[in-house]
Amino acid sequence: MNIAALARTFARFWYAFLVGDDWKIAASVVAVLLIGLALLLAGAASGGALAALLGVLLMAGFAGALLLDVRRRGPH
């Protein structure tokens, strides 16, 4: 196995592991982490308040991804 094939296999594994079946959830996690980093660097929130805010934002992102999937399928 050459290096290029090994690199492709490695990249496919990590993509499947991190993104999985739903890219919307992975995107919401990345967005929440970037928001948290921006708030932390700006000094806008303390550790506990920031953790609570990020938890709420993560739950909202998961709920939004779920609503998009449910709305797309519609009633059976």
Q: Is residue 59 part of a domain?
A: yes
**Looking at the domain assignment, is residue 4 inside a domain?**
no
Is 0.75 surpassed by the pTM of this model?
Answer: no
Q: Confirm whether 2 is domain-assigned.
A: no
Per residue, the 3-state secondary structure of the chain, as one string, reads CCHHHHHHHHHHHHHHHHCCCCHHHHHHHHHHHHHHHHHHHHCCCCHHHHHHHHHHHHHHHHHHHHHHHHHHHCCC
How many domains does one find in the chain? Answer: 1
Q: How far is CA 48 from the centre of its chain?
A: 21
- Give the model's pLDDT for residue 73: 67
Residue 11 lies in a domain: no
- What residue numbers bound the domain in which 54 lies? 20-73
Residue type, 19: V
Largest pairwise CA distance in the chain: 50
**Is residue 63 in a domain?**
yes
Question: What's the pLDDT tens digit per position in 7-50?
Answer: 999 999 888 887 787 888 888 989 999 999 999 889 887 888 89
